[in-house]
Amino acid sequence: MVGDRPGPLADLSSLACGRLTINLAALADNYRLLAAKAAPTACAAVVKADAYGLGIDRVVPVLAQAGARVFFAALPEEGRKVRGLLDGLGATADVYVLAGLLPGSETLYMNESVIPVLNDLGQAETWANLSAHRNEGPLPCALHIDSGMNRLGLDLEELERLLARPDLLAALDLRVVMSHLCSADEPENPLNQAQHAIFSKVIARLPNSAASLANSSGIFLGARYHFDLARPGVALYGCNPTPGRPNPMHQVVTLEGKILQVRGIDAPQSVGYGATYRVTGPGRIATVGVGYADGYLRSLSNKGRAFAQGVALPLVGRVSMDLTTFDISALADDSLKPGDWVELIGANVTLDEVGQAAGTIGYEILTDLGRRYHRVYKDA
């Protein structure tokens, strides 16, 4: 402002109340770290859900550059997008879609060089039939075996029926046989061993395909879980694949919230909706312009924390749609003012901590990251 005239319109991104910084160099470092940990096993990259919320169009080129040659998406549309990005780079890589050969998706898989992960015998039959009618040889696919998750994939009985059909198998270019661990983040859980045993028996009968079992945490269960292809997702983006132990990954995501107002409270009073928090002594509350509409979950109410100037600042009261309040009494007066930023996720308040405080996991914090943030990508 000059006198009583407003200044020119600011760059609107500078007016955002949340700033999300995504460190692509750390992402590349994480891919290389996981690939080294898995070696000599090959290392894919799981980029479902818009690369766990971080932006598929920025993430895929960085991972391809870092050496990823196999990508997994969840949905056909996601797979198509990954394929387009890789083609644009001139990168050769296989793109698999976990959702499988849904009715109506066949043409997309055939025309866009996206590979379906077959989840049942019917899908295997459909894909084999399409292969046969094409006269260009078997179409590529992966096969998902359910070894105990009871979520996606052929159960063992269905697998027997497939194995009893050599004609069917011969009509498929079965590149990967995969299964998924349900408790890889708990190294002591006997289900890991049980799934490993089932999967080992399965792949012994399909020896011409690459075998893939380990997600991020699975890579850290030891080399016997690596097989031929690892499939990390969340660790690429900085979550700890070894809960309870130090995080081996680099931090990729920093979320900062802008302070809109600071108020001193002298007499005992409550803060926020439902008056769930009472200020007793004199104190100061900072109101930050990030709320549950931004994926800063309401379940963080009275549980989360922010960080500024070396000090942890407790989240007090309920998280509302666009606003969250923090007790900044521990900082000197005037040390924070409107327009200043506080860390909501980052080096001091980790993704895993935020997930735990919210009663969920870092995965959900990532995939909920809001659309109103000013996103800053730090280049690899």
Ligand X SMILES: *Cc1c(COP(=O)(O)O)cnc(C)c1O
Catalytically active residues, by annotation: 48, 273
User: What CA–CA distance (Å, rounded) separates 187 from 133?
Assistant: 46
> Residue 287 and residue 313: Cα distance in Å, rounded?
12
Q: Which is nearer to ligand X, 99 or 306 (CB)?
A: 99
What track of x and - describes contact with ligand X for positions 226 through 255 (by CB under 6 A)?
A: -----xxxxx--------------------
Q: Which two tokens stand for residue 198?
A: 């089932």
Q: Which amino acid is at 195?
A: Q
Among 215, 240, 287, 329, binds ligand X (CB under 6 A): 215
Q: Quote the CA–CA distance of 175 and 139 in Å, as a whole number.
A: 10
Distance (Å, whole) CA 241 – CA 308: 27
Residue 221 C-beta: closest distance to ligand X, Å: 12
Select from 41, 216, 240, 350 the one that contacts ligand X (CB under 6 A).
216
37 touches ligand X by CB under 6 A:
no
Is the CB of 145 or the CB of 234 nearer to ligand X?
A: 234
46 or 114: CB nearest ligand X: 46
Task: Supply the Cα-derived Rg of the chain in whole angstroms.
Answer: 24
Instruction: Find the binder of ligand X among 81, 180, 258, 284 (CB under 6 A).
Output: 180
**CB of residue 48 vs ligand X: minimum separation in angstroms?**
6
For ligand X, which residue of 27, 33, 34, 46 counts as binding (CB under 6 A)?
Answer: 46
In the complex, what is the shortest distance from the CB of residue 231 to ligand X, in angstroms, rounded to a whole number? 4
**Would you give the end-to-end CA distance of the chain in angstroms?**
38
What are the phi and psi torsion angles at 44 (to 5°)?
Answer: -85, 180
Q: Report the C-alpha gap between 242 and 184 in whole angstroms.
A: 9
Residue closest to 214 by CA, chosen among 37, 28, 32, 29:
37
Interface with ligand X (CB under 6 A), residue total: 11
* Order of strands, sheet of 139-144, starting from the edge strand that comes earlier in the sequence: 45-46, 70-73, 94-97, 115-118, 139-144, 172-178, 210-212
Structure-block tokens of residue 300 = 């963080």
Min. distance of Cβ 138 from ligand X in angstroms? 23
Quick count: other Cβ atoms within 10 Å of Cβ 226? 22
Q: Could you tell me the two tokens for 91?
A: 């990168």
**Of 60, 97, 98, 290, which lies in the binding site for ligand X, with binding defined by CB under 6 A?**
98
Distances in whole angstroms, Cα of residue 187 to Cα of each of 16, 147, 192, 212, 234: 42, 17, 7, 18, 17
Residue nearest to ligand X (CB): 233
Distance of alpha carbon 278 from alpha carbon 285, whole angstroms: 11
Stretch that binds ligand X, among 201-209, 225-233, 299-307, 324-332 (CB under 6 A): 225-233
d(CA 341, CA 5): 26
Q: Which is nearer to ligand X, 172 or 184 (CB)?
A: 184
275-334 positions binding ligand X, by CB under 6 A: none
Indicate the residue among 180 and 318 with the shorter CB distance to ligand X: 180
**22: burial class by Cβ within 10 Å (0-12, 13-18, 19+)?**
buried
Kindly tell me which of 130 and 152 has the beta carbon lying closer to ligand X: 152
Nearer to ligand X, 33 or 234 (CB): 234
- For the bound state, the minimum distance from the C-beta of residue 216 to ligand X, rounded and expressed in Å, comes to 3
* CB-nearer residue toward ligand X: 99 or 316: 99
Chain positions contacting ligand X, by CB under 6 A? 46, 48, 98, 180, 215-216, 231-235
